[in-house]
Amino acid sequence: MSSTLGQTMDSPNHTNMDPTVFFLLGIPGLEQFHLWLSLPVCCLGTATIVGNITILVVVATEPALHKPVYLFLCMLSTIDLAASLSTVPKLLAILWCGAGHISASACLTQMFFIHAFCMMESTVLLAMAFDRYVAICHPLRYATILTDTIIARIGVVAMVRGSLLMLPCPFLIGRLRFCESHVIPHTYCEHMAVVKLACGDTRPNRVYGLTAALLVIGVDLFCIGLSYALIAQAVLRLSSHEARSKALGTCGSHVCVILISYTPALFSFFTHRFGHHVPLHIHILLANVYLLFPPALNPVVYGVKTKEIRERVVKVFQRGQGTGIRASE
């Protein structure tokens, strides 16, 4: 295996007959810009870690923020951190030094976690839409509907749903034979990018991948749209303009996060299956935008648009500065 791996690293275009090793090529056509592209990746990765850890620390240390909407935000931050850690280290290794070699088992593991985390995030975004629906349409029942037990169950459902829907994919790929190139023209082990390398009948993989994506993106977007349609209906019934503005203002952060998360996801999904004339590097850049931007921007959106979090973040930093000044004295 060591000789095959060496050949693969020296010449990524080499047809690799070793079924236990793949090679992630990075962004085909933009190899000369890999080092420059690593700069925004580093910035986004750092912003993801700092921003989401800040959200988790602030919510955990402030009892006033122990509310359903912020607990769902903590779930989102945890998923974003995990998804980033499953992609960014390998992506930087590829961009910095072309270290694209990856074992088949590691590739399938990365594939499982990346797609499972994306499905979990979609479930949490749906739960956050339900939270806004209950808060605006049934405010008197809010505390009795979204109890701590219900929130915990929603978190478990998100994990189980993402894991179960993604679980068959590695096994379906495991049955395939890769009789030609093992070079994956991508920055991570994306499901369809790996399936396209296989020889033989890949219809079960394609059908299941499309079905799983539609079950998550299609169902969740429909339910989110339905929630906001009911919210809009309830808000329009309010007689006071100030009350309408306040009600819609509580949804602003969630709507921004939905747009940030689903827009690149839908672009990537449709260009991968129907955009046959879209250049490969454009598709791969879109796929990376989908994985890198939402985890980095979600904490910023909630930090800027949510007064409670913004005030608590300032309070935590002021407390830290005060402790540092007292220690120096």
SS in 3 state form for 54-118? HHHHHHHHCHHHCCHHHHHHHHHHHHHHHHHHHHHHHHHHHHHHCCCEEEHHHHHHHHHHHHHHH
> Looking at residue 4, what is its pLDDT?
36
Q: Are strands 21-24 and 183-184 parallel, antiparallel or unpaired?
A: parallel
pLDDT higher than threshold 90 for residue 301: no
What percentage of the chain exceeds 90 in pLDDT?
Answer: 41
- According to the model, what pLDDT value does residue 98 have? 86
Which residues are bridge partners to 21 per DSSP?
103
Q: What is the DSSP letter of 217?
A: I
| Rounded Cα gap, residues 4 and 14, in angstroms | 10
pLDDT at 166: 93
Q: Does pLDDT of 9 surpass 50?
A: no
> Contact at 8 Å (CB) between 298 and 254?
no
The C-alpha atoms of residue 284 and residue 268 are separated, in whole angstroms, by 8
Assign 3-class secondary structure to 19-33. Answer: CCEEEECCCCCCHHH
Instruction: Indicate the pTM of the whole model.
Output: 0.86
Q: Measured between alpha carbons, how far is residue 234 from residues 68, 248, 259 in Å?
A: 21, 10, 22
Name the most confidently modeled range: 11-20, 28-37, 237-246. Answer: 28-37
Domains and CATH numbers, the chain: 21-313 (1.20.1070.10)
Separation of alpha carbons 93 and 95, rounded Å: 6
